[in-house]
Structure 1
């Protein structure tokens, strides 16, 4: 319980559940406004967490702040490690890193490397003499008040920031800006089974658009209620399937959710393949210790410093070492549905549609040197990273 929640006697997990409950049950026409009004509570939470890091409190997830206490001077710093997404692939599991004594992670990352700031940084680097300025000066020039959102750290602590949106259309500018300000940045991406990802995305959207009709609404209400015009889950899936089939029939690309290689390419180009790690989001759930060993080794940390177990009730991993900690109960709710069993004909079409891009991912990150029987045999091992890719990559092998 951090400083704020210790004072208010509200557990942070209960606070998050309450906030999520409100968002899941608010009428669709009010969703945007309610979410905006909930934002200040997130700011309060972040400020309280920042305060707790350096005032001897216990953080909201139960990791004692004493492990970060140091007599070394503190300084505002850019992150050493950035998580670039992808949505619905388990980026939230990186929160466990905050329980490591050598890592500090901010749960809500300041929007510093957005497209506008990234462009300004690139322009500044080309026109000025960045060697004369330290990082804080550059941040002040390019991001203004955003610089105040960076925490202070010692020089020895590893700082991690997650950000799903970094894998978007402005990825190249973002990667260039990161390279200019911190050329030693390490990049983490989490890829997952695109079929599960599609269903998870649509299921979340469906929960947030409860009203599907405009019956009884006046024109002003209908104008405000764009979200409530969304189709129900089955209709959304049907439309997605028809679009995927249409693309297949015309030799086109897949309808998104599998652009892993393309999203990572700008970061590999700027930082080198050795500084860009692609984790298996499915393995983070089913084989957490194996996948976390890969992550810890990539970060230069002891692979034995964090251990996990599968919580039977949640069906999700929880941290066993160095402290006991589970993510909040809202995580992974859509994963309890076997989408292939519920929608066998639809997912068969999705599988064919996603196949080319998953092959591209396998070759780009050198999971296999080529797609052949040897590669497929490796991917058939359910305990290996990216074993789910077998279904897509080995259709014709």
Structure 2
């Protein structure tokens, strides 16, 4: 075989290997790569050196569960006179290897030199490894805002969001694959979701039995599976229905942040209140960020047309995008509504215990013994 042929083969092997190394954890429908962990750790270092780095850094970062109000919170906060939203960057889970010069260019260009607290909002940060460690390595003083919400409503909204997506030609096949998995219509989605809950319940009952019914130890086992990128958290081993459900295991993902950041640097926001009283959580956020409280109840005006509150600053009414509030008027069949509530209840209770607060969607019935 000629030397040139050998060179071509070597180059092709290197290119293929490079593709595996740079596999994006966040692009696989918010899942995880099955690339060997020891190689992932070696080729995708958790820390990008930033010695002598003097560029722009965000004062805080918003993350949270898809369809829980991350967009609403960031849009409302962007109207604060001392805060500037630079949008979604995905730096810490997609583009980290590009380094802080790339990140600084994004923040500096988008903020245009404004003398304000700069922040970014990237929802998938809350559940992709090793984002928490990377943010901490950037600046351990960074404040984190995590937005969560009612899991039953979130599951419904997530399906409707996917169903009504208007993708580009490139993304159309991805949408078709997702709908093929979830169901072509709402009735089919409910049937398949019901079966998936049953399957996970069987699996979890077995895991819980091994822990003699100790839910806290069971959550620790799930946390280990999450860190090992195994079912039901791994894209290659889990279907989209399972991934949508496990998105709501808030404790699992939040434990990663609590291992890195002091509790006072992380604020958990109840996204389910953003429709009925957005000012309540915005007050907590402004106090957390130590900025003047400008966004109050008087800053909002109810829109009958949209069925939600819009920000009203000096007569300039600013509503969320038309895609928001899509699930209004929709509801699961009663049997599935109850089954989903039962499924998520112990996880919600565990999370409420972990962060020491009760959430708006939790009733007395939710206060189960875990």
Relative to the length of structure 1, the TM-score reads 0.61
CA contact (8 A) 2:57 2:104 kept: no
Shift of 1:208: 3.9
Match in the other structure for 1:97: 77
Does the alignment pair 1:84 with 2:63? yes
Match in the other structure for 1:20: none
Match in the other structure for 2:199: 246
Shift of 1:269: 2.3
Q: How does 1:1-397 map to 2 (within 5 A)?
A: 76-93=55-72, 94-107=74-87, 109-114=88-93, 117=96, 139-140=100-101, 145-151=102-108, 152=111, 157-170=116-129, 173-208=130-165, 226=177, 229-230=180-181, 231-232=183-184, 233-250=186-203, 251=205, 255-306=245-296, 307-321=299-313, 324-334=317-327, 336-339=328-331, 342-367=332-357, 386-390=359-363, 393-394=366-367
Q: 1:76 to 1:101 in 2, by over 3 A?
A: farther
Shift of 1:288: 1.4
Structure 1 unmatched ranges of 5 or more: 1-74, 122-137, 211-220, 368-378, 380-385
Match in the other structure for 2:43: none
For residues 324 and 392 of structure 1, what CA distance do their matches in structure 2 show?
39
Q: 1:271 to 1:238 in 2, by over 3 A?
A: same
For residues 392 and 159 of structure 1, what CA distance do their matches in structure 2 show?
41
For residues 325 and 116 of structure 1, what CA distance do their matches in structure 2 show?
32
For residues 139 and 223 of structure 1, what CA distance do their matches in structure 2 show?
31
CA displacement 1:5-49 (0-9 Å, x = unmatched): xxxxxxxxxxxxxxxxxxxxxxxxxxxxxxxxxxxxxxxxxxxxx
What is the DSSP-based 3-state SS (H/G/I as helix, E as strand, rest coil) of the residue aligned with 2:118? strand
For residues 300 and 91 of structure 2, what CA distance do their matches in structure 1 show?
32
Match in the other structure for 1:33: none
Q: 1:228 to 1:316 in 2, by over 3 A?
A: closer
What is the DSSP-based 3-state SS (H/G/I as helix, E as strand, rest coil) of the residue aligned with 2:363? helix
What is the DSSP-based 3-state SS (H/G/I as helix, E as strand, rest coil) of the residue aligned with 1:389? coil
For residues 306 and 175 of structure 2, what CA distance do their matches in structure 1 show?
37
Deviates more, 1:349-358 or 1:176-185: 176-185
CA contact (8 A) 1:179 1:185 kept: yes
CA contact (8 A) 2:59 2:142 kept: yes
Q: 1:110 to 1:167 in 2, by over 3 A?
A: same
Structure 2 unmatched ranges of 5 or more: 1-53, 208-221, 223-241
What is the DSSP-based 3-state SS (H/G/I as helix, E as strand, rest coil) of the residue aligned with 1:113? coil
CA contact (8 A) 1:96 1:319 kept: yes
CA RMSD of aligned residues (A): 3.2
CA contact (8 A) 2:136 2:261 kept: yes
Shift of 1:110: 2.1
Relative to the length of structure 2, the TM-score reads 0.65
Q: 1:391 to 1:202 in 2, by over 3 A?
A: farther
Shift of 1:182: 1.8
CA displacement 1:225-284 (0-9 Å, x = unmatched): 645645222112211112212333451689414221222222222221111111111111
Q: 1:271 to 1:321 in 2, by over 3 A?
A: farther
What is the DSSP-based 3-state SS (H/G/I as helix, E as strand, rest coil) of the residue aligned with 1:183? coil
CA contact (8 A) 2:310 2:320 kept: yes
Shift of 1:312: 2.1
CA contact (8 A) 2:282 2:295 kept: no
For residues 222 and 319 of structure 1, what CA distance do their matches in structure 2 show?
37
For residues 135 and 103 of structure 2, what CA distance do their matches in structure 1 show?
15
